[in-house]
Structure 1
Amino acid sequence: MKILIITDAWFPQVNGVVRTLFKTRECLIAAGHDVEMITPEPFFSVPLPSYPEIRIAPFANSAIRKKIRDYEPDALHIATEGPLGLAARRYAVKINMPFTTAYHTRFPEYVKARTGIPLSVSYAFLRWFHKKSERVMVPTPAVITALKDWRIGNPVLWPRGVDLDLFSPGKATFPSKKNPVYLSIGRVAVEKNLEAFLSLDLEGEKWVVGDGPDLESLKKKYPDVTFFGMKSMEELPDYYRSADVFVFPSKTDTFGLVMLEAMGCGLPVAAYPVDGPIDVLGNTKSAVMDNDLKKACESALHISRKSARKYAENFSWQSATEIFASHLETRLKNSTAPRPKKSSENKIDYKVSAQS
């Protein structure tokens, strides 16, 4: 199957959406599919307001139309609701080409946290964006319920996995000044609820890995916390292996891939009992969920690293990608819409290598 994936989120960003798409593409190719991607990488881009580390490509409409015509995909998947996603959606609707979409993040909650814009406004945009999609792929059953409540598209489950070869137990390489070490990895922004973790009175040391708009202000407010900044995916296992508990304070994430990465490295997790952690962690005894985050952190210290790793082994990218592909295949079987006519113009190669 020829699959074209459009995404506004790509390297050098380091986040769950990028990791999910990178591993999905890798597994699709391994399964014999022909996969190409359109990302912001080859285009002129500008910083996203309030998130300068995230760049968007607002002027790629003609290139996207041409790529869809030239590649003639069997399946078109629009992964994000940004400028590239909007351009692909616009053209697909124009030529009556079926497509699938995905819902990776609680976008309305993030917008409200940063700007105060009501949820109803953002959800109205999402309702419009996903209305023409054959299926909206989401990471957990809780998100399916939420989208149905807001009357958004046709949500179906596309679970996540973890790279168990990269995120694996190993020797701790970062000596701490005092034990235990509590670690949080992710975007340093208000919607991640980091201050709920940073303000806790915990014996030991607090580490934060990641970048974001609140990094400098939190550095000043919490001088006793060690902020490492953004790290590459290959560097992250060293931090997981060197900590004693992974703290996930977010209450708005749809999934929280970092929790599985931590457990893959044998690091127990402490989190709030909310959507996201509940779906990922379930009833496992290899993590602790509690409305009292300090209590969850201290209780997680008593969980064995072997137990955390064993739980992570239940999740694989191969099985998650098979589900992704099955949604596309089902869509194709039910579709009678024509492919776009091939352009006679010179082809533009936007293929992204697996080493990007």
Structure 2
Amino acid sequence: MRLALVTDAWAPQTNGVVRTLMRTRDELTSMGHAVEVISPDMFNGFPCPTYPEIKLAFLPGRKIARTMTAFQPDAIHIATEGPLGHAARGYCLAQGLPFTTAYHTRFPEYVEARFAVPVGLSYAWLRRFHSRARSIMVATQSIESDLLARGFGNIRRWSRGVDTTLFKPRDVKGDKGLLNLPRPIHLFVGRVAVEKNIEAFLSLDLPGSQVVIGDGPQLEQLKRKFPKAYFLGKKVGEDLARHYAAADVFVFPSLTDTFGLVILEALASGLPVAAFPVPGPRDILQGTDAGALDADLGAAVKRALAVPAARCRALAEQFSWKAATEQFLGNLAPFGVV
């Protein structure tokens, strides 16, 4: 199959959407499929308001049409609702071509947190964007149920995976050069932005150390407000994996994520997870005893610290990128297939 994958989120951005799309592309390629990624680096653009490191394509319609004509895809998947997503949607509708979309980000909640725009307005806009898709792919039952209640249809499941060869338990807690801090070490990994609700984690009165790995627009503000916390910046690959394994508990304070790949990375590293009982953490952890969910995040942290590493690892091993990619393939809408 020749797949055109259209996304406003791509390298050098580092987030769960980008990691999911890159890993899916790699899995598809290894299966023998041809993937043409249409991403912001192919276009002139401008920085996204409040996210200057994110580039938004400027008037991409003509180039998208030329790229599609040259590539001649058998299926088109539109991953995001930004300028490229809208241009690709317009192309498909004009050409009478079926396409699929995905709901990666609880965009209305993010917009409300940043700009106080009522979520109802944003969801109305999103319903229109996704309404013509042959299927809307979502990662969890919680998000599917929420979208159905808001009037969305044609929803299909597309789960996620984790690299269990990179993220794994390691004997690094005695390594003096790695998180040589008072224990227990409470770790957060992710984008340092208001929608991640990191203040809920850093405001907790916890013994030991609170560590934040990642960068983003809220970084300097949080450094000033929480001088006792440790901010280690962005880490990737082996370095990131070793830091997961060196911590004692992973704290995921977000209320708005649709899944949370970092939860799987922590679990694969043998690190128990503490989170609020919201979509994403609830779908991964509820009923598994591999972490703790509680409306009182501090109580969840205390319970999670007692979870054995082996139980966390066993849960992570149930999530493979190969299975997730096969699920993705089954959701596509190849041309000529009704």
Q: Shared fold by TM > 0.5?
A: yes
Query: How far does residue 333 in structure 1 lie from its aligned partner after superposition?
Result: 6.2
With normalisation by structure 1, the TM-score equals 0.91
CA contact (8 A) 1:267 1:308 kept: yes
Between the aligned partners of 1:192 and 1:311, the Cα distance in structure 2 is 24
- For 2:328, the equivalent position in structure 1 comes to 324
Q: How does 1:1-356 map to 2 (within 5 A)?
A: 1-172=1-172, 173=175, 174-328=178-332, 332=335, 334-335=337-338
How far apart, CA to CA, are the structure 1 residues paired with 2:236 and 2:60?
A: 27
Aligned pairs, number: 334
The CA deviation string for residues 9-67 of structure 1, in whole angstroms up to 9 with x for no partner, is: 01111111011001111111111211111111232232110111222222322111101
Q: Distance in 1 between matches of 2:217 and 2:117?
A: 18
Bigger relative contact order (CA 8 A; separation at least 6)? 1
Q: Distance in 1 between matches of 2:53 and 2:277?
A: 30
The sequence identity of aligned pairs, in percent, is 51
Following superposition, the deviation at residue 332 of structure 1 comes to 4.6
How many Å separate the matches in 1 of 2:189 and 2:331?
Answer: 31
| Deviation string, structure 1 residues 55-113 (Cα, Å, up to 9, x no partner) | 22223221111011111111100000011111111111111111000000100000001
- 2:97/2:335 contact within 8 Å kept: no
Deviation (angstroms), 1:230? 2.0
* 1:188–1:194 Cα contact (<8 Å) kept: yes
Letter in structure 2 aligned against 1:314: Q
Quote the offset at 1:191 in angstroms. Answer: 1.3
Please state whether the residue corresponding to 1:235 is helix, strand or coil: helix
Long gaps (5+) in structure 2: none
User: Residue 334 of structure 1 aligns to which amino acid in structure 2?
Assistant: V
> Considering only aligned residues, what root-mean-square deviation do their CA atoms show, in Å?
1.3
* Structure 1 residues 333 and 140: CA distance shift in structure 2, 3 A: farther
Taking structure 2 as the reference length, the TM-score comes to 0.96
Tell me, which stretches of 5 or more residues in structure 1 are unaligned? 336-356
CA distance in 1, matches of 2:331, 2:211: 39
| CA distance in 2: counterparts of 1:57 and 1:231, whole angstroms | 27
SS at structure 1 position matched to 2:192: coil
- Between the aligned partners of 1:99 and 1:24, the Cα distance in structure 2 is 17
Name the SS for the 2:201 alignment partner. helix
* Residue type at the aligned position of 1:156: R
Q: Aligned partners of 1:234 and 1:109: how far apart in 2?
A: 33
1:60 to 1:171, Cα distance in 2 relative to 1, 3 A: farther
Contact (CA 8 Å) 1:101, 1:130: kept in 2 or not? yes
